[in-house]
Amino acid sequence: MRPSRVFRWIVRAFLLVFTLSLSAVSILGGWSAVTILNPSSDDINIPDGPIGYNINIGNSSVQITIPFNISNGGVYELSNVELGLQFDMRFENISAGNATTTFTVFNVIHYYGNILPGATLKANLTGFGTLPLSDVNTDRNPDLDLFIGLLFSASYSLNLYTFTVGIVNVSIGTYDIP
């Protein structure tokens, strides 16, 4: 056999092995992503029961704490895990001629790092802010409409899949200023 023919066979063998390995990574990554995002599993959840939040209007502050678990049921690590919490209030604003104003009390993003396969992250998502009570028209409408937003972002399968899930403007109630 001539050297050029041997070289061609070596290149062909290398390309075959390279193509098969890329195919295997793609198939395993897709299968792993499907298993972690299975809606019938309990891989990502907020525990049942009341979500703890403490609103202290006396000193114009608000603090919200939400306990949560994130379990990685897949093959690869869940990386760049971020959770965001936004708290808004809507009220009649004296400074704006009694126009209805939506004010963002706080908007925080917590970075939790990576979650290894089979591991569970248990933590609390917290936010703290100050309410602009001096701008609320307490004579006409002393109601504060309170809203919350949650954001979950992560990467999976060697950062080939990046996803973000957001829940925005969920009403958590109305607070009447005494």
Q: Where are the domains of the chain?
A: 32-176
Q: Residue holding tokens 């104003």?
A: 101
- What residue has token string 């009649």? 92
Can you read off the two tokens belonging to residue 42? 């309990």
End-to-end CA distance of the chain: 96
User: What's the pLDDT score for residue 94?
Assistant: 73
pLDDT of residue 48: 59
- Taking the C-alpha atoms of residue 56 and residue 178, their distance in angstroms, rounded to an integer, is 13
Question: What is the per-residue pLDDT for 53?
Answer: 62
> What pLDDT is attached to residue 41?
57
Q: Could you say which of 3.30.70, 3.40.1350, 2.60.40, 1.10.1060 is the CATH number of the domain covering 32-176?
A: 2.60.40
Tell me what pLDDT residue 84 has: 93
The number of helix segments (H) and strand segments (E) in the chain equals 1, 8
- Residue in this structure with the two tokens 């126009």, named with its chain if needed: 99
Half-sphere exposure of 39 (CA within 13 A, CB side): 0
- Per-residue pLDDT tens listing for the chain (178 residues): 688 888 888 888 988 888 888 888 778 777 766 666 655 555 555 555 556 565 656 567 888 888 888 888 777 888 999 999 999 988 887 777 777 888 898 999 999 999 998 888 888 888 888 888 777 777 777 678 888 898 999 998 778 888 888 888 888 888 777 6
Q: Tell me, what's the pLDDT at 140?
A: 72
Which structure tokens are listed for 85? 């919490």
Q: Give ∠ CA 147-110-133 in degrees, rounded to 5.
A: 35
Amino acid at 103: F
Find out whether 66 and 127 touch, Cβ atoms under 8 Å: no
